[in-house]
Amino acid sequence: MKKMFIAVVAFGFFACNNASEKTTPESGATETKPMMDMHGYTPSLSSEAVIGDPKNAENVLALFRTWDDGNLSVAKDYFADSVTMFLRNGMMVSGTRDEVLSAMQGARDGYTMMKNTVHVVFPVDLKPANSTWAAIWSTEAFTDKAGVTDSVVLNETWRFDKNGKVDLMYQYGRPAAVQPMPASK
């Protein structure tokens, strides 16, 4: 009887242990992830952002360097054939790559000094929208041709086409505060 009891307990243990095995989804089936609480909002582009290709962030940094240095002609290969830029002052510049770069070079030529301090830069892929972006936050200090020095805090998002070229840029900004941005603790 004692042996029978041990056999039943052992059988029950193995039966329970087998029941807890994980099953794999059928071929081609996808697991659904729990959605975040959107609090009633529906994003028009995507609510699924993942870190993208670091090369896109590097390209934005290279574009910042050309802006600081003042020679935008070397940036031509970073742009798609047509480009649209929404600037912090409410202006939109849109046209062929050459037209947009010419307009931006004209704006840059109004300054004798330009220096960006980059706070953060990161590449972002939006799923399932299948769009590729890089975002950068910076403080831009500048001196105009009249000798007036000022600075602005910028947040820019740059979109890349399927060929890895910039075709759209949104720029948001405000005058920089008197004190520099505090470091997080």
Instruction: Break the chain into its structural domains and give their ranges.
Output: 52-175
Residue 33: predicted pLDDT: 55
Residue 4: predicted pLDDT: 45
* More confident of the two residues 146 and 19: 146
SS3 54: helix
CB 135 within 8 A of CB 155: yes
CA 10, distance to chain mean position in Å, is: 56
pLDDT digits (tens, 9 = 90+) for 44-71: 888 889 999 999 999 999 999 999 999 9
Q: What does pLDDT average to over the chain?
A: 85
Mean pLDDT of 128-142: 95
Residue 8: predicted pLDDT: 39
Q: How many whole angstroms separate alpha carbon 152 and alpha carbon 140?
A: 5
Residue 181: predicted pLDDT: 61
Biggest CA-to-CA distance, the chain: 103
137: Cβ–Cβ under 8 A, 6 or more apart, which residues?
A: 118, 119, 120, 121, 153, 154, 155, 156
Architecture of domain 52-175: Roll (3.10)
Q: How many whole angstroms separate alpha carbon 51 and alpha carbon 31?
A: 21
Q: How many whole angstroms separate alpha carbon 47 and alpha carbon 1?
A: 62
Residue of 47, 56, 45 whose CA lies nearest to 121: 56
